[in-house]
Homo-oligomer: A and B are copies of this chain.
């Protein structure tokens, strides 16, 4: 029974997240329906993890088994024909049965995009911009894919704060406290200690782009980190507060949750074959 690994990209704007939910459009649900429509088989594709409503994926990974023997390029093409344009299969391959999109993953990388309304005096990293401080308007075509942040964020202290997150820490302060999820989380993530390898902010045109790569992520962890880094960027917190926030092991110690639309699952890492 062929076992499949698909890499897919999706625009999460109009979906209620990855996970199948009765009566709601979800990526997992639509993918399962489409596979059923194409093959007659009932499968629930496993994702590398859930993405919340409004969160996007540049390269989510999913795995499942099908009875049918289909050449990979044919399955990819048939899925891309049948799926909405907001979900695209970037690759399809047959892999050993031991592969599981979530259990086999050794790490994940996310990207978070913040639209910068301000050309400020802090804009030292982009010397070609005009000197005067003017408000930029977030183009309507960009709005679903960024946080249109109303504060003038200084990327320098944000990077100092981001640096303090690298390494192995208990990230409880950055995890959602949604009671429903907590129960599930306790089963799936036996501990709240995670290791971040990359935590970097770059300034690219009109955006601040935060890239974070690590062994695993708690629910809302990236968005809570970004919300906290923004507090640092607008000088409501200082970089050294990160230490205190991590030690508090309490969600209320960190900043607010940044909006879903700015978040992209960029890649999922697996052991080299």
> Which residues of A are interface residues toward B (Cβ below 8 A)?
9-11, 56, 80, 85-90, 137-141, 143-145, 148
Contact = CB atoms under 8 A, between A and B. Distances in A.
Nearest to A73: B135
A87 B137 CA distance: 11
B143 A80 contact: no
A116 to B, nearest CB: 15
A89 B135 CA distance: 13
The A contact surface, by secondary structure, is: mixed
A125 B144 CA distance: 33
24 contacts: A9-B139, A9-B140, A10-B140, A11-B140, A11-B141, A11-B143, A56-B140, A56-B141, A80-B137, A85-B138, A85-B140, A85-B143, A85-B144, A85-B148, A86-B140, A86-B143, A87-B140, A88-B137, A88-B138, A88-B139, A88-B140, A89-B137, A90-B137, A141-B145
For the complex of A and B, the 3 pairs showing the least CB-CB separation, nearest first, are A85-B143, A11-B140, A86-B140
A56 B148 CA distance: 20
A90 B143 CA distance: 14
A143 B139 CA distance: 17
A56 B9 CA distance: 24
A143 B14 CA distance: 13
A88 B140 CA distance: 6
Contacts of A86: 140, 143
A10 B85 CA distance: 20
Contacts of A87: 140
Given A11-B140, A11-B143, A87-B140, 9 more contacts: A9-B140, A10-B140, A85-B138, A85-B140, A86-B140, A88-B139, A88-B140, A90-B137, A141-B145
Contacts of A10: 140
A89 B139 CA distance: 10
Nearest to A261: B85
Contacts of A9: 139-140
Nearest to A146: B85
Contacts of A80: 137
A140 B90 CA distance: 11
